Amino acid sequence: MNLPKPVQSIHNALGIPADYSDSCSLPFCEEPSQLVATERDFYDRPQQLTPESFAAWTAMKLAAANEQVDIFLISAYRSTQYQADLLAKKLGSGITIEEVLTVNAAPGFSEHHTGRAVDVGTYGCDALAEVFENTVAFQWLEENAAAFGFTMSYPRNNAYGIIYEPWHWCFSDN
């Protein structure tokens, strides 16, 4: 596929292989036209989601709290440029682009660009760690998230070739 020009120049600057968009099985993720501020995340950073995703996330968080289950935001919307900066930082620490791309999507291909994806945390569990799957919060999400429109995007052995991410959930209204 032909990437939008600004995304293509970001890819060129990072040395992302030209066949990335054809060889990776991730869809291109457009940025949303509208974002709203959410509560601050676990690290006290401002975050944004689309209005529908934020409403669904808030309803889900309250429902969980009603059952004494804590879930909180670790990360939500991330811009294409943010993803580019993240990758640049990793490259700066000496990791090759090929290695980076096994754990991070290339700019333009992170589901976080859509403003509908959230990384979820719970107290007493390391952030963005596979052990999240052993928490009460994860169990609750498995049982209840679908009712709020959230699905886990990257289960074990997913078709995208992305590592298992039990903490990453995406909202869809269809």
Residue ranges binding Zn ion (CB under 5 A): 119, 168
CB 42 within 8 A of CB 122: no
Nearer to Zn ion, 9 or 89 (CB): 89
What residue is closest to Zn ion based on CB? Answer: 168
**CA dist., res. 150 & res. 129, Å (int):** 19
Placement of tokens 């700019």 in the chain: 107
Beta partners for residue 151, in sequence order: 170
Minimal distance, residue 91 CB to Zn ion, in Å: 20
CA distances from 119 to 2, 8, 27, 71, 122 (A): 29, 26, 19, 10, 10
Nearer to Zn ion, 41 or 119 (CB): 119
Minimal distance, residue 96 CB to Zn ion, in Å: 22
Nearer to Zn ion, 21 or 83 (CB): 83
**Both tokens of residue 116?**
């509908």
Minimal distance, residue 78 CB to Zn ion, in Å: 8
CB 113 within 8 A of CB 143: no
The three-point CA angle 89-15-81 to 5° equals 50
Nearer to Zn ion, 121 or 140 (CB): 121
Minimal distance, residue 5 CB to Zn ion, in Å: 26
Nearer to Zn ion, 13 or 131 (CB): 131
Nearer to Zn ion, 16 or 118 (CB): 118
Q: What does residue 133 show for φ and ψ, rounded to 5 degrees?
A: -65, -15
Minimal distance, residue 105 CB to Zn ion, in Å: 9
Minimal distance, residue 80 CB to Zn ion, in Å: 15
Q: Give the H/E segment covering residue 150.
A: strand 150-152
